[in-house]
Amino acid sequence: MWRAVGVYRLISLVYAAVIIVRDHERYAHPNGGLAVLAVMAAWSALATAAYARVPARRPWIAGVDVAVAMALVLATRLVDTAARIDHGAGTLPLCWAAAPVLACAVAGGPWAGLTGAAVVSVADLLERQALPRNTFNGIVLLVIAGTVGGHVVRLVLRAEAALDRAARREAATAERQRIARDIHDSVLQVLALVSARGRELEGEAAELGRLAGEQETALRTLIALPPTPAPDGRLDVRTLLEPLAGDRVTVSCPAQEVLLPEAAARAVAAATGEALDNVRRHAGPDARAWVLLDDEGEAVAVSVRDDGAGFPAGRLEEAAAAGRLGVAQSIVGRIAELGGEADVTSAPGRGTEVELRVPRNEVEHHGR
Amino acid sequence: MDADARSGETRPETVDADARSGETRPETVNADASSGDTEPETVDAGGPPRLLVVDDHPIWRDGVAERLSAAGLPVVGTAGDGAQALRVARATRPQVVLLDLHLPDLGGAEVTRRLLAADPSVHVLVLSASGERQDVLDAVTAGATGYLTKSASLEEVIAAVRSAAAGEAVFTPGLAGLVLGEYRRLGGAPERETPRLTNRETEVLRLVAKGLTYREIAERLVLSHRTVQNHVQNTLTKLQLHNKAQLVRYALEQGLG
C-alpha cells in the first residue's frame, strides 16, 4: 500500500519536474519555481521514508503531508504570473498534490481520504480564486481518490486479515495433525502393547495393563480433532460415529467421508448413540456391538447390531400399546423426523439389530 | 481418526468362524483357535508359517516378534523400514509378512506391491494402528490378504497368521466396512469396467461388517461355510484385479509398458 503511494509520488514528481523545468523561464520568479521543485523532491523523499519507518506516526505524517501540499499549491500564486494562472496554467505541484490525499486514505480510511481531498481542494480554490472547469474536475478526482481509495484500502486490509487468520488456523490444524500422527505412531503403540501384554497376565501386571489401556483411550480422545462442518455446512458422519467405538463396540466406516447436512449428521449420530446405550442397558454385560456406516449414495445407512439377549417379536408393539414409549421409539422418531426410516429387529438369544436409513434428498430438503 | 484401535474389532473371522462355537468372549475363541485348528488348508505342509515382522517402532516390533516366537511361530526376520523389509524378505523367504503401514521410507501399499512382485506366494498381513483407513484400503487393494489393528491379542494375531498362510482373506468387520465403501465409491464412478458386487456379495459383506461370523452368516443365508468364504474372498480379489489393471493401464498410458 505505502509502496504504491511512494511510487505515485515519484511518478507525479517526475511529471511536475518536467513541466517546471520546461516552463520556469516564463514564471514571475523562475528560481522560485525551482525552489518549489526542490521542496517537493525533498519532502517526497522524507515523507516516503517516514511512512515506511515509523508506522505508528502515519496519521501525523499524513497531516504534515497535506499541509506541505497545501503550501506548495498556494506558492504557485507567488511564483507564477497572475496572467498564466488566470489563463488556466496548472498549479506547480500538479497531480503531485494528490499523493497526500492517497496517503490519508491509506492511513485512515475513506473519511480521512475525504478530509485530505477537501483541504487540498481548498488550497486549489484559494490559488485559483475562481472555479474553472479543469480545477473542478481536479477536485472531483481528488475526492474520488480519497474516498474510494480509503474504502478499497479498508477492504484489502480486512481481506488480508481474514486470509491471515485462515492461514494461521490452517497451520495450527496441520501442526495438530502432525503431533497426533506422531503420538499415534509412538506413545499410543507402546501403551497398546503394554495393555495387550498386561491382559495376558494376572495380578498387578494385569492392573498395569488395564491402566495403560485407559491412558491409551484418554490420549486418543485428546488428540482427536473435533468434528468440524465443511464450508457448505455438511458434516462427515464418520467423525461423529468413530468416538462411539470402545472395548466392546466396533465401528466400521468407509475410507471416504460420508457427508450429510450438519443437523442430519448429528441426529443420525445421536440415534446411533441411543441404540448403543440400549445395548449397554439391555443386552447383557458381555454383549458386543457393531456399528456399520454404509454410504449407499442416495441414502446413508447405519446399522447397530449386538450379540446380546435380544427380545421376542412384538415386545416393542406391546410396550407402545401400553403407553410406554421406549428408547427404540425415540430412535425411530428421530430418524422419521429426517424423512428416514428406522427398523428394529430382534429375537430372544439372537441379539438386536437397529437399521437406520436416511435418504439424502430428504435431508438436503429439510436442511433448507 | 481412531475408530477401531480400541474397538476390539480384531477377531480374525476365518478362524473364528470355524473354531468357536458361539461364545462371544475372545478368550474362548483364542483357546479354541490355537488348539482346535482343524481346517486342512490352514496347516501348512512344512510346519508353522515362517514370519517377517515389519514395523518402524523397535519396542513394538521386538515385542511382537518375541511373543510370536515364544508361541511357536518362527520369526525369520524383522525390518524397520520398507527397503529393509524387501531385502530381508529376499534373503529369508517368509510365508507371511506382518506389515505396519507407517514406515519411514515407503508407503504400506508400495511395500505390499513390491513384496508380492518379488515373491507372488508371500502373504502380506497388515498389522497397523487404526486411523489410517485409506492406507489400509490401499494396501489391501495392492494385494494384502488382510488387516488387524494393533490392539489385537496375541492369539488373534496367531490365528490370523495361520489363515493368511493358508491363503485366506483375514476379514475384520472394519475391513469389510472399508471394502464395502470402496465398492460404493466405484459404483458412483462413470467408467464401465469398474468391479461391482453381486447382490449376494453385498449382503455377505454387510453381514461381515456387522460382526457376524462366517458360521452365523452361513446359517442366516442358508449357505455353506465354504460359499460364504468364497463370496468374501471374491470381493477382495475383484478389487485387487481392478487395481492391478489400473496400474497396467496407467503404465501403458505413460509409455512405460
Answer yes or no: is pLDDT of B8 > 50. Answer: no
Element (H, E) at B184: helix B173-187
CB contact residues (below 8 A), chain B span 113-132, against chain A: 129, 131
Closest CA to B209 of B169, B179, B167: B179
What are the chain B neighbours of A178 within 8 Å (beta carbons)? none
Q: How confident is the model over A89-111, as a mean pLDDT?
A: 87
* pLDDT recorded at residue B26: 35
Inspect the interface and report whether the beta carbons of B177 and A292 lie closer than 8 Å: yes
Distance set, CA A302 to CA A296, B34, B41 (Å): 10, 34, 36
Inspect the interface and report whether the beta carbons of A255 and B181 lie closer than 8 Å: yes
DSSP A204-226: HHHHHHHHHHHHHHHHHHHHSPP
Q: Measured between CB atoms, which of B56, B131, B178 is closest to A254?
A: B178
Answer yes or no: is pLDDT of B193 > 50. Answer: yes
Domains of chain B, with CATH numbers? Answer: 13-172 (3.40.50.2300), 176-253 (1.10.10.10)
Residues B12 and B147: their CA atoms lie apart, in Å, by: 9
- Of B77 and A247, the structure prediction assigns the larger pLDDT to B77
Closest CA to A95 of A113, A117, A67, A62: A117
User: pLDDT tens, B33-91?
Assistant: 333 333 333 344 467 889 999 998 888 888 889 989 998 899 999 999 999 999 999 99
Inspect the interface and report whether the beta carbons of B181 and A189 lie closer than 8 Å: no
* pLDDT recorded at residue A323: 57
Inspect the interface and report whether the beta carbons of A220 and B57 lie closer than 8 Å: no
Residues B108 and B116: their CA atoms lie apart, in Å, by: 12
Q: How many angstroms separate the CA of residue B78 from the nearest CA in chain A?
A: 17
Q: What ipTM does this complex have?
A: 0.76
> How does residue A366 score in pLDDT terms, banded at 50, 70 and 90?
low
Which percentage of chain B shows pLDDT scores above 70?
Answer: 79
Q: Which residue of A has its CA nearest to B27?
A: A200
Distance set, CA B163 to CA A5, A106, A304, A310, B75 (Å): 75, 73, 28, 32, 16
Inspect the interface and report whether the beta carbons of B211 and A294 lie closer than 8 Å: no
Distance set, CA A283 to CA A290, A348, B159, B173, B236 (Å): 13, 10, 28, 20, 33
CB contact residues (below 8 A), chain A span 187-206, against chain B: 188-190, 192-193, 195-197, 199-200
Query: CA-based angle B95:B96:B101, to the nearest 5?
Result: 145
Answer yes or no: is pLDDT of B147 > 50. Answer: yes
Q: Are B23 and B223 in contact (CB under 8 A)?
A: no
* pLDDT recorded at residue B190: 67
Which residue pairs, CB below 8 angstroms and at least 24 apart, start in A219-224? A219/A183, A219/A187, A219/A188, A219/A191, A220/A188, A220/B2, A220/B5, A220/B6, A223/A176, A223/A179, A223/A180, A223/A183, A223/A184, A224/A180, A224/B1, A224/B2
Q: How many angstroms separate the CA of residue B148 from the nearest CA in chain A?
A: 13
Touching check for A295 and chain B: CB below 8 Å? yes
Closest CA to B119 of B101, B138, B93, B143: B93
Q: Measured between CB atoms, which of B137, B174, B187 is closest to A297?
A: B187
